[in-house]
Structure 1
Amino acid sequence: MRATSGTQGAAVTSPSRATSGSAAGLPARILRQGAYESLAMLRNGEQLVLAIVLPLLALAALVITPLLDAHGPSRIDIAAPGVLALCTMSTAFTGQGIATGFDRRYGVLRFLSTTPLGRSGLILGKAVAVVAVLAVQLVVIGGAAVLLGWSPRPEGILPAALLLLVGSAAFTALGLLVAGTLRPEATLAVTNLVWILLAAAGGILIPASGLPTAVEPLISVLPSAALGDGLRSALLDGVLDPIACLVLLAWASLASLAAIRWFKWS
């Protein structure tokens, strides 16, 4: 009881400070929320396995095995862009989807949406977290790939960065759509299952052109194939694939509109 009354007293006596001109603006609140969510993801063992360990294992497996021998000049040059695309999907779709789903169950989303951060600030904070964690992944996975002999085209770095940003927006929107419409347990199952299916046969690690002819047209319009093939074009040939970029923009737009329409905060 004493602790409760003391907290209430502090809340009553401090509003002048909370509402003073020194209160943080919305950009600062978004950055702080993004930093908090980034650290939470990187400190979570399961998220760390998904974000770092599994992509490293995938990179090693693709370099050791002859799976990609028919798709390019060297295994590492084909494998590295695909694994970077896998990192984007891991963080933006699976990682954010699971985290948001359980935040929704425990009322965290509903609580934060009523604070000065607001709903838009919360969503932007999650986007900042995705970009921050993706930057860590790029350093770790990209560094490992360089040690294995990867040499991306310098002129393809900017097109690759653009594709990564658009791809992260598309996968984040899809992750929020799943997390905002399904129960947390279903979100956990769906995001992990989709991750496995897209990693294995979604054109993200193995180019869509290397999959059976009957399914290639369907696979090529998936965001996974668009990001994987787009990064390979950028980092292997040094050019921006406009079709891949348009596919990712379409997925980002449609998933965002669907999430805005059907997302449930509690």
Structure 2
Amino acid sequence: MTPVPGRSSADTTSTGTPSPGGAPAPLLRRILLQGRYETVTMLRNGEQLILAVVLPLLAMVGLTVTPLLDGLGASRINVAVPGILALCAMSTAFTGQGISTGFDRRYGVLRFLSTTPLGRTGLIAGKVLAVLAVLLLQVLVVTAVALPLGWQPDPLGWLPGLALLVLGAASFTALGLLVAGTVRPEATLAITNLLWILLGALGGIVIPSERLPALAQAAVHFLPSGALGQALRDAFLHGSINAGSVIVLLLWTALAGGAASRWFKWN
């Protein structure tokens, strides 16, 4: 049997049950085990794979064969890929984690795990590890498809770009946990999917603000979607760091994280 997350193999009998007097595994091991479990669960979910990989790839191909991104000072693929990477972060960290956490809460999984040696801190840390693991796979897949299509990122943009992806994932994870922990699971499903569509189309994440309606152009820079999309385009197109976008992402992470800590309901 698979060992219970949070306990080392030495603390279990041959049947997989805890041995008498067995001590919990170290916190780091508990978090790593939970992170592995969360990652495997996400990768086995066909709906989440479509949302996290298939749809972003289709959007990338669509943007390279249409003139929507023409006239922005770079080739279509070079403008499209940073936005697609940002969309991947939002898909996994916000929509994917929001939905899975919401239904875990509904079925009592969160309440159960929060009382085990894993604890609430370990549970959240495991979810963050899963988001980062899946995001790494998304970056590898998108890069493998984009390079043959002619993507030429600025070499100086890789380090800030990856750091911005992590920051963006933190911001969207905090937002996903806030939604999942405060509304019903059915509402979480509707809200996260609706926001994925709206932010993906009009939030400045895939399509630069210059191509959006006039009313949306000023507002998108203050959204986590617009901030992450613009920051990644600046990084991979010019090798630069957009300080304003970084501040916006930090503020969203702090505010959403604080609100989730304050109002998150475990049952």
| TM-score tier after normalising by the smaller chain length | over 0.9
Partner SS, residue 181 of structure 1:
coil
CA gap of 1:149–1:113, structure 2 versus 1, over 3 A, is: same
Report the counterpart of residue 251 of structure 1 in structure 2. Answer: 252
How far residue 210 of structure 1 moved from its aligned partner, in angstroms, is: 2.5
Report the counterpart of residue 8 of structure 2 in structure 1. Answer: none
- Give distance in 2, aligned partners of 1:12 and 1:125: 22
How far residue 81 of structure 1 moved from its aligned partner, in angstroms, is: 0.3
- Give distance in 2, aligned partners of 1:13 and 1:195: 42
- Give distance in 2, aligned partners of 1:63 and 1:76: 5
How far residue 209 of structure 1 moved from its aligned partner, in angstroms, is: 2.8
- Give distance in 2, aligned partners of 1:12 and 1:221: 50
CA gap of 1:232–1:11, structure 2 versus 1, over 3 A, is: closer
How far residue 70 of structure 1 moved from its aligned partner, in angstroms, is: 2.2
- Give distance in 2, aligned partners of 1:144 and 1:255: 33
User: Of the candidates 15, 19, 26, which is equivalent to residue 14 of structure 1?
Assistant: 19
- 8 Å CA contact 1:71, 1:210 repeated in 2: no
Structure 2 counterpart of 1:101, one-letter code: G
How far residue 213 of structure 1 moved from its aligned partner, in angstroms, is: 2.7
Aligned pairs for 1:181-260 within 5 A: 181-260=182-261
- Give distance in 2, aligned partners of 1:12 and 1:89: 38
How far residue 212 of structure 1 moved from its aligned partner, in angstroms, is: 2.5
CA gap of 1:67–1:261, structure 2 versus 1, over 3 A, is: same
Identity percentage of aligned residues: 62
- 8 Å CA contact 1:52, 1:137 repeated in 2: yes
Aligned pairs for 1:58-77 within 5 A: 58-77=59-78
Aligned pairs for 1:88-103 within 5 A: 88-103=89-104
How far residue 211 of structure 1 moved from its aligned partner, in angstroms, is: 1.7
- Give distance in 1, aligned partners of 2:69 and 2:30: 45
Report the counterpart of residue 7 of structure 1 in structure 2. Answer: none
Structure 2 counterpart of 1:256, one-letter code: G
- 8 Å CA contact 2:90, 2:169 repeated in 1: yes
Q: How high is the TM-score relative to the length of structure 1?
A: 0.92
- 8 Å CA contact 2:171, 2:256 repeated in 1: yes
Stretches of structure 1 that go unaligned for 5 or more consecutive residues are: 1-9
How far residue 39 of structure 1 moved from its aligned partner, in angstroms, is: 0.6
CA RMSD of aligned residues (A): 1.4
Residues 207-241 of structure 1, C-alpha deviations (whole Å, 9 max, x = no match): 12322233212111000000000000000000111
- 8 Å CA contact 2:56, 2:84 repeated in 1: yes
CA gap of 1:114–1:68, structure 2 versus 1, over 3 A, is: same
Report the counterpart of residue 157 of structure 2 in structure 1. Answer: 156
Residue-pair matches, total:
253
- Give distance in 2, aligned partners of 1:90 and 1:84: 10
How far residue 13 of structure 1 moved from its aligned partner, in angstroms, is: 8.1
- Give distance in 2, aligned partners of 1:67 and 1:13: 59
Structure 1 counterpart of 2:121, one-letter code: S
How far residue 147 of structure 1 moved from its aligned partner, in angstroms, is: 1.4
How far residue 181 of structure 1 moved from its aligned partner, in angstroms, is: 0.5
Report the counterpart of residue 7 of structure 2 in structure 1. Answer: none
Report the counterpart of residue 141 of structure 1 in structure 2. Answer: 142
- Give distance in 1, aligned partners of 2:27 and 2:152: 40
- 8 Å CA contact 2:202, 2:216 repeated in 1: no
Partner SS, residue 53 of structure 1:
helix
Partner SS, residue 115 of structure 1:
coil
